[in-house]
Amino acid sequence: MSEHDNLIKQYERQAEELEQLLAVLSAECVSWRPAVDRWSLTEIAGHLADAELLASVRIRRILTQDRPQLFGYQQELWATRLTYQRRRIATVAQRFALLRRENAELLAEQTRADIWQQTGAHDEYGVLTLQHLIQDYVSHTAKHLLQMRAVAEAYRRQSN
């Protein structure tokens, strides 16, 4: 299995990790905020789903355009104005999982040897290769999955 195959598998596996994590949690747990200025599990999942929505666009632009512009976003503003806290956790998780799996499938189908070195120009982070972009999404999601486990554990502790 190649380095890229491993990266794609890791990227895709995170959809299942999120689904498994949320499957065992109560409605109270997913909507609970550990502090006024901290996100609930629903808000974190909303953030991941919207990040994956942007990943879908960024991946497709890198695959089809010569060094396309990639734009950042204000995550706190999105969370507030898109009312992440009021979203249905099941819908948000399904959107993340669907997009993540479809993106992984698209990446796995790429046959050009140089595709992973294709670049996009991010307005905040500079030039990114497709490989770096996917590695960043894997790291970003892993960080938030750990955060979600910590929030769920904090909820369990305060509920007892």
- CA separation for the pair 59, 70 (Å, rounded): 10
Strands 126-129, 119-122: parallel, antiparallel or unpaired by DSSP?
A: antiparallel
Domain boundaries, the chain: 3-159
Distances (CA, A) of 78 to 17, 48, 84, 119, 138: 24, 12, 8, 26, 21
Long-range contacts of 87-90 (CB under 8 A, 24+ apart): 87/42, 87/45, 87/46, 89/22, 89/27, 89/30, 89/31, 89/41, 89/42, 89/45
| pLDDT at residue 15, as a whole number | 98
- pLDDT-derived band at 132, boundaries 50, 70, 90: very high
| pLDDT at residue 10, as a whole number | 98
CB 61 within 8 A of CB 68: yes
- CA separation for the pair 81, 59 (Å, rounded): 25
Q: Kindly tell me if the per-residue pLDDT of 113 is higher than 90.
A: no
| pLDDT at residue 74, as a whole number | 95
| pLDDT at residue 81, as a whole number | 97
Q: Kindly tell me if the per-residue pLDDT of 150 is higher than 80.
A: yes
Distances (CA, A) of 35 to 80, 91, 145: 16, 24, 18
CB 77 within 8 A of CB 148: no
CATH code of domain 3-159: 1.20.120.450
Mean predicted confidence (pLDDT) in 101-108: 98
Q: Kindly tell me if the per-residue pLDDT of 1 is higher than 90.
A: no
What are the pLDDT digits (tens) for 7-62?
999 999 999 999 999 999 999 999 999 999 999 999 999 999 999 999 999 999 99
- Please give the share of the chain, as a percent, with pLDDT higher than 70: 100
| pLDDT at residue 112, as a whole number | 87
Q: Kindly tell me if the per-residue pLDDT of 106 is higher than 90.
A: yes
Mean residue pLDDT across the chain: 96
CB 129 within 8 A of CB 117: yes
- CA separation for the pair 35, 147 (Å, rounded): 13
- pLDDT-derived band at 111, boundaries 50, 70, 90: confident
At residue 58's C-alpha, the angle toward residues 64 and 136, to 5°, is 130
Mean predicted confidence (pLDDT) in 73-90: 96
| pLDDT at residue 2, as a whole number | 87
